[in-house]
Structures are given as structure tokens and as C-alpha cells.
Amino acid sequence: MTELLRTLQEFSAAEEFLAFFQIPYEPGVVQVHRLHILKRFSQYLARAELEALDEPDQGQTCKALLVRAYEDFVHSTAAREKVFKVFQDADGQRVSLDRLRASLPSQRH
């Protein structure tokens, strides 16, 4: 494992990854979508075959994939991107507040 990949394993926040790769970002986008960005970045990395690259190419590839993951949520929404299973299962279904209230045990007669 390269030094770059070891370093990346130490990060846990989207802001850490973005700062490391010196990627400018809108804090509001990251605050709302940080987990989605990280999950999408992880998905992109899983398909990237980084082990076949030398460290400088790994760095360029990681940066490009992080930019791509971030941009996915600049131009879209979590519900549209369906990164997490909860969004995949929802498949566009919406539940009204009245329906939720009616499902509460205290509302049943």
C-alpha cells in the first residue's frame, strides 16, 4: 500500500479529503451531503484499480474521483443519486405527514 493510500485511510470527514486534495468546495453542499459524497467517492475508488497505478497517478485519480463525487451532489440531490439503500428502496415514494401521524400508536383508536 502506498503512503497516499495509508494517509487517506486516516481521514473520516469529507472536508479532510477535500482539503488534502486542495479541492475548492461550498461548505453548504458538504454539510448537507457529506456522507453521500464519501459513499460515492468510495464507490468510485472501488472501481478504480488504484493498485495498478504508481503513487502520483493514484493521487491524480483519487482527486478526480473526489471532484466527481462532490460534483454529483452539487448538481443533484441525495434522493436522485440514490447512493444509500434507503433511497434505492424508496424508489420515489413519498409519505405525507398525515399518513405518518396516523401510523403513530397514540393516534390509533
6-33 pLDDT tens trace = 999 999 999 999 999 999 999 999 998 9
What's the rounded Cα separation, in Å, for the pair 23 and 66? 9
**pTM, two decimal places:** 0.74
Q: SS3 of 49, please?
A: coil
What's the rounded Cα separation, in Å, for the pair 37 and 71? 9
- Sequence ranges of the domains in the chain: 3-107
Q: Taking the CB of residue 50, how many other CB atoms lie within 10 A of it?
A: 20
- Listed in sequence order, the residues at least 6 apart from 49 whose beta carbon sits closer than 8 Å to its beta carbon are none
Identify the residue whose cell numbers are 456522507: 35
pLDDT tens string 30-46: 998 998 899 899 999 99
pLDDT tens string 44-88: 999 999 999 999 999 999 999 999 999 998 987 766 765 655 544
